[in-house]
Amino acid sequence: MSCTFCDIAAGNSPASIFYEDEVALGFLSIEPINLGHVLVIPKRHTVSLSDLNEATGRHIWTIAQRTGNVLRRSGVRCEGINIFLADGAAAFQEVFHLHIHVFPRYAGDSFTLDADWTLKPRRSELDRIAEQMRSAYRNLHG
């Protein structure tokens, strides 16, 4: 079972690394949305959010947050920042080693996102879902 990001973390595959510690790695995406698009990963193989140790999650999040500050001062064009994570094929995950995308944005760049914004649920429906989630949260996390 080979994993592209495990190969990078092990130093067996080339990558343009800007950050490394014992737990996390940050490197440039080879398919960037804009120049400066990076991925922050846990070094240990982790497929999905539900497999992610919470302490490791907090650590890679902090590196992602700092990366936002770094991008604004690194010389790449950067007027804003997006952070994106895809968990599961249905959510557009393509490499099944968890990664946080951090990418710079600027007015007039090529990035777009879209959805059917006509959904407009009623308050009663939102309240019903919130209640289901409160109950699921309690069951999972006390």
- What span, in angstroms and rounded, lies between the C-alpha atoms of 12 and 5? 10
User: Is 4 a residue that touches its own copies (CB under 8 A)?
Assistant: no
- DSSP annotation of 49 reads G
**Could you tell me which stretch among 4-12, 39-47, 69-77 binds its own copies (CB under 8 A)?**
69-77
3 is written with which tokens?
């994993």
Active site residue 141: no
Q: Which of 38, 39, 40, 41 binds its own copies (CB under 8 A)?
A: 38
Q: Using the rule CB under 8 A, is 142 a contact of its own copies? A: no
Residues 47-66 that bind its own copies (CB under 8 A): 49-50, 52, 54, 57-58, 61-62, 65-66
Per the CB < 8 A criterion, the answer to whether 105 and 79 are in contact is yes
* Residue 27 contacts its own copies per CB under 8 A: yes
Candidates 37, 97, 99, 101; catalytic one: 99
Residues 6+ apart with CB under 8 A from 27: 8, 15, 16, 17, 18, 38, 39
Which of the 8 DSSP states describes residue 37?
Answer: -
State the number of binding residues for its own copies (CB under 8 A).
81
By annotation, the residues acting in catalysis are 99
